[in-house]
Chains A and B, each alone.
Chain A
Amino acid sequence: MDDEKKAISVPVANGPVGLTIMIGEGQLGASTVFRGNQPLVRGGVVIADLNLGDGAKLRGTNIVVESIVNDISTHTNRMSVTYVVSNNGRRLTPVVVPHVVTTEGQLCRFQTSITFTV
């Protein structure tokens, strides 16, 4: 199984912080968001606007998003997972983590750590 690891630092201000996770390229998949060992949410191809709490409390902490993406596409072996953090309703720059599987029908494990900073 392929593996894609990424660490992201996101500066957040006081106020509500949200997270959207999208599996792209038309591929199937599922994601779980963990805080420590505790799963915050389990979702499918899209987890939209997950409320992570207030930025003031999040700074200095991190969450881990674990996704398994399945190559169901007959057009491409490309895969991607896009992470969009929002703060006070404002969407920050999306981070796209790409991958290409070399074997048809393969799956890839995406592990992305998002650390909230000042």
Chain B
Amino acid sequence: MEIKLRILIEIFLRMVCANRHKSIRMGEIQVGKSKWVLLAVLLGMMVMMTGCFGPTPKGGIEGFVFAPTDDAVSRGGEPLLVKGLVEVPAGYRPLKDAIVTVKGTFSRDITDGSGHFLLDGITVGHKELTVTHPNYQPYSQEIHVYEGRPTKIDSPGIKLGIGYYLLIGVSNPEHSIYIPGCENGWTAPELQGPARDLDAMEYALTQHDTCVGKYSTRLDDDATVANVLNDIRYLISLMKDNDYLVIYFSGHGIGGEDKWRFDAIVLHDGLLADYELEEALTNSGLDRRKNKVTLIIDACHSGSFADGNIWRLRAPTSKAFMKWGYTVLASSNPNQESEEDLYGTSTYGAFTYHLVRGLVGDGRKADRNSDGAITAQEARLHINEQMIREGRDQRAELWSSGNDTVIFKYR
């Protein structure tokens, strides 16, 4: 420790001196190269000494390898099975001495008599698992490794595709709102729910077993149009194939079933219309064939985002979000208001309250088939059940290019 400290002081002195003179001699070492090199070394030393980066997050994978019972058939190309459960599938037997590796790492294990393997100490992220055995064709599978204890190989969370989330809440817009078609601006009343709604959503995303790539929150004066669009660009740039983006908004909404009505969410400094948001996603490099996008909107008239109609002066033929790859889960239909209510001691949007309860509370009731992946349709069914139970007219709406759009995964 003492030696490290001495080296550090010496390098610091050299750097300071290098700032003043092109070259000086200190001890045995010639100092005169770029001060930036010294700065980098200094920073490196500081990191080494303080340990401020901490250990790289690591996780693991656990599973069982099974082979078909008829070896003759298997040599002809029958695939191996890799499962997370010890139960032997019909027509298969545990495979001993198979070599299990993760590409790009030194992690390696050999299966035991039950076909079991355990790989630990793998850096988190997308990986490729490979199983080889002299008698069988190699098996490989892409997976996502999460931080913490090893995950079972067939846990839904480990399959490729994780969620990136942008959470936006606006209680009180900056100034009166100009709505196209209206001569004067509207002053929107302050909402009570968005701040708590965002807290609740963040709580859901930060549970230890939630599968989240990255999330960003924008509340009130931070939720400007520019910030939101920047976040979208940033999150899309991080996403890999099969990852999905979820944009959540709580606040005021504008819309209606009138097909030419202007549909928008109200951000702090202005409106963001459905077609503007869709254009922003496309311009940010989104490839809908590889990455699905879900909008979750808790706002009055939010079903307007799912009706495919956009303001006629802009582009009457566009369908905004009614396109393949998009899913819109809206808190109410285009002609309905979305209610806030007191739950416990805090006010939440009724839609968000039941969404979060379905995602992480009440035994994750929204996950109806208990597969660890909650789809937009599962969330909607859960929310509408609660709306009816509470005697509300409000109903969640859904546009989706399939019934399987995942919005939330856990291990």
Please determine whether chains A and B interact with each other in the same assembly. no
Which residues of B approach A to under 8 Å, CB–CB? none
